[in-house]
Amino acid sequence: MFNAIVCIKAVIKGGTDAHVNRSEHVTELNPFDRQAIHLALALTSQYGGSVTALSIGPASCDFVLYEAVALGCDQGVLICDERIRGSDTIATSRVLAAGIQQLPKADLIFMGTQTSDSDASQVGPQTAVMLDLPLVTRVQSIAPERDTLRLERIADGFREVYNVAPPAVLTIHPSAAEPPCPSLLGLEMAYQSAPIAHWSLDKIGLDEHRVGDSGSPTRVQSISEISTDRECKFLDGTVAEQTETLLKNYIHQGTLR
């Protein structure tokens, strides 16, 4: 039997505004979290246990937790406190770690590898450090073996295999699964029968000076899309002629001197 916690996030659609008011109209469930939910549910479905979805954000973002419940999670908890606003990845990890410690002890803590609105890939590792738990990132598959878990991960074109004794924190590779979308009936049942718990900083025992702007050593000044103008050119002639033309182009551009 495995009890799991899945940390999920309501991300900004498009991911280009660092200071937008997060509501269900401009946010969505982080697509990289879907694989984490799916693997957690697959594990508990096969071996028994429960899955709790945990998130941070304003009350308007509890829809991602209802979506997690519609997919099969047993309950959802939203850490919702205006004082958290402006938290960087370290402060966010601090909040998640404090929230996890208030939940029943979990064997595994699942997270997406990254978020689509920042791509930092920092919260999973930082949360593991704050909880003093082993961490394996970019996990592709999970297989229980007696008292340990056999984990396969993919990184830099290599497949690595680890044996880890729970409890542990896992970030899940985007290609680990093709998770389904929740059904309309599942969403309706989730909203009708599964109220989402809202926790404050006081509930998780975290000082307000350790979160938000005051608890964040980094600041996001701006987020913007970068566009590049590139033109594809084909070179004619023999290999020697193409090489000469290419060298002239590099010299003209200042790439070679």
| Measured distance CA(211)–CA(189) in Å, rounded | 34
Judge if the upstream peptide bond of residue 167 is cis by omega within 30 degrees of 0.
yes
* Residues 255 and 127 sit within 8 Å (Cβ to Cβ): no
Q: How far, CA to CA in Å, does 82 sit from each of 66, 213, 256? A: 21, 11, 54
**Which pLDDT value is given to residue 223?**
67
**Which pLDDT value is given to residue 170?**
96
Q: What is the model's pTM?
A: 0.81
**Which pLDDT value is given to residue 79?**
95
**Which pLDDT value is given to residue 21?**
59
**Which pLDDT value is given to residue 121?**
85
**Which pLDDT value is given to residue 60?**
87
**Which pLDDT value is given to residue 16?**
53
Q: What is the DSSP string of 169-221?
A: EEEE-TTS--PPPPPHHHHHHHHHH-PPEEE-HHHHT--GGGSTTTT-S----
In the DSSP assignment, the letter for residue 63 is H
**Which pLDDT value is given to residue 19?**
54
Q: What is the DSSP string of 144-161?
A: EETTEEEEEEEETTEEEE
| Measured distance CA(30)–CA(199) in Å, rounded | 21
**Which pLDDT value is given to residue 18?**
52
> What domains appear along the chain, each with residue ranges and CATH number?
4-210 (3.40.50.620)
Residue with tokens 């028994």: 48
Residue 6: both structure tokens together: 């899945």
Residue with tokens 């002639």: 237
Closest to 181 in 3D by CA, of 31, 3, 13, 19: 31
* Helix, strand, or coil (residue 69): helix
Question: Which residue numbers in the chain have pLDDT < 50?
Answer: none
**Which pLDDT value is given to residue 22?**
61
